[in-house]
Structure 1
Amino acid sequence: MNRFVRSALAPASYALVATACLNAPALAHPHIFAEASLEVVVAADATLESLRHVWRFDDLFSSTVLLEFDANSDLVLSHEELEAVASVIHESLGEFDYFQFVSADGKSVEMRTPDRIVALFDDHQLTILFESGPASPLPLQGKLEFGVYDPTFYTAIDFYQDENLTVSNLPETCTTQVVRPDPDEAIAMNQQSLTDAFFNDPMGVDYSKLFATRLELNCPTKGVKS
């Protein structure tokens, strides 16, 4: 068990353990599934304003959360109970940068911690929403990439349709593309680096990032206009 799960066992109920599955140790395949939507919001000055995330979880995980956080056993998650769900998720995902990745010309972009996470429970499914932005101004220049992935492989969060990745206020000079990597090609193209990284730090290799669906924005490096 990871550090979060161990700490949750002492003062809290098994409910925290259920939600802590979001950052459980890496296993052979995902145990939690979520359909994601991502809106990239561009500011008037052609810089990145924010990322708006929506994740809708599978029925099994949602049912587990309902049963464990339903303190009064009425099979309904009240506002207070949903706040507890959101609080646990907010804390547990912090260690993994909230599963989001942003890069500019191949370099990782630091993102601000989301102010809060909102949890909803409708049609027997748990949905969470949150918004984050770059830690420093990020102009839309060159190639920018956006996506989500769980580095532990425990949670499969994916964009089921290309339409789930959108951009608001996209400058006319920029183009977008949804990239869905082929796992075999991704491994073949990174074989040597993966081998070296594994032997240097077996626990520090983000294999799942290679397979993650992402949104690419390509914009001129100069003279970007909205």
Structure 2
Amino acid sequence: MRWLATFLTCCLPFPALAHPHVFIDTGLEFVVDEAGKLTHVQVTWAYDEFYSLLVLEDMRLDQDGDGVLTASEEQLLSGFDAQWVEGYNGDLVIRMGDNLVPLSGPLEPQATTEDARIVTTHLRAVEGAPVPASALSIKAFDESFYTAYEMSRPVTVSGPVVCQIERTDPDIDAELAQMQAFLRTLDADYDLEENDIPLVGEKFATEIRLSCPAT
């Protein structure tokens, strides 16, 4: 996914177009109950090396530069990315048909490092009653595409029932072609900041479909 930033910044005629600044390898663990209903989602974010370095330096952690945090440093780092503004969806969208599944804010945040990269986890609860996980669509994306999420870490299900996970990766070439075609329709003086900047994040998102038998 990181090559996409180079394409968007160097190869398109409109530098104001949103492009990734942060890259996150993402993993999901769906927690279901005995009735095959979704109750929680555990989210894992592994930040790119450069962003990790910036955060660690800003927080004055890993002063010896070995990429390994002490227990006290991990405690200080935990929750640094869990201070969400009101209305932020955590860049995670779960749909049941045409309806959005409401999720809580981040719970039980934890953080560590792996190979000098910050890796964090947080838990999100389904608000209200658990929802049937018979046909759920899940995507992790920032619609502005400031952050690029790649579903490269494990996607699993925990619970007493056996569920099916299907993955559909985006057609990168087709989406880039559509973006190029759109940009070619614009005048060179077109101001993307003052007009509608294309929200392309979802177009480059992997879709996970979860199906659990109802009991």
TM-score, with structure 1 as normaliser: 0.67
**In the alignment, which of 99, 116, 126 is matched to residue 124 of structure 1?**
116
CA contact (8 A) 2:38 2:133 kept: no
How many residue pairs end up in the alignment? 183
Structure 2 residue 101 is matched with structure 1 residue 109: yes
How far residue 185 of structure 1 moved from its aligned partner, in angstroms, is 5.6
How far residue 33 of structure 1 moved from its aligned partner, in angstroms, is 1.0
Q: Which moved more, 1:72-81 or 1:141-150?
A: 72-81
Which residues of structure 1 form unaligned runs of 5+? 1-25, 189-200
Distance 1:157 1:105, change over 3 A: same
CA contact (8 A) 2:47 2:117 kept: yes
2:159 corresponding residue in structure 1: 169
How far residue 84 of structure 1 moved from its aligned partner, in angstroms, is 4.4
Partner letter of residue 169 of structure 1?
Answer: G
Partner letter of residue 169 of structure 2?
Answer: R
Distance 1:133 1:185, change over 3 A: farther
Matches of 1:84 and 1:151, distance apart in 2:
30
CA contact (8 A) 2:145 2:199 kept: no
How far residue 145 of structure 1 moved from its aligned partner, in angstroms, is 1.2
Distance 1:154 1:131, change over 3 A: same
Distance 1:45 1:207, change over 3 A: same
Q: Aligned runs of 1:43-192 on 2, under 5 Å?
A: 43-70=33-60, 73-75=63-65, 77-92=69-84, 95-140=87-132, 142-160=134-152, 164-169=154-159, 171-172=161-162, 175-183=164-172
How far residue 100 of structure 1 moved from its aligned partner, in angstroms, is 1.2
Q: Which has the higher contact order (CA 8 A, sep 6+)?
A: 2
Tell me how large the CA RMSD over aligned residues is: 3.2
2:19 corresponding residue in structure 1: 29
CA contact (8 A) 1:56 1:125 kept: yes
- Please state which structure has a larger fraction of its residues in helix: 1
Give the match's secondary structure for 1:54.
strand
Partner letter of residue 209 of structure 1?
Answer: E
Distance 1:206 1:107, change over 3 A: farther
Give the match's secondary structure for 2:107.
coil
1:10 corresponding residue in structure 2: none
Give the match's secondary structure for 1:131.
strand
Q: Deviations over 1:73-100 (max 9, x none)?
A: 4446555554444333111466422111
Which residues of structure 2 form unaligned runs of 5+? 1-15, 179-194
Distance 1:146 1:73, change over 3 A: same
Give the match's secondary structure for 1:97.
coil
CA contact (8 A) 2:36 2:212 kept: no
**In the alignment, which of 190, 199, 217 is matched to residue 210 of structure 2?**
217
1:42 corresponding residue in structure 2: 32
CA contact (8 A) 2:62 2:69 kept: no
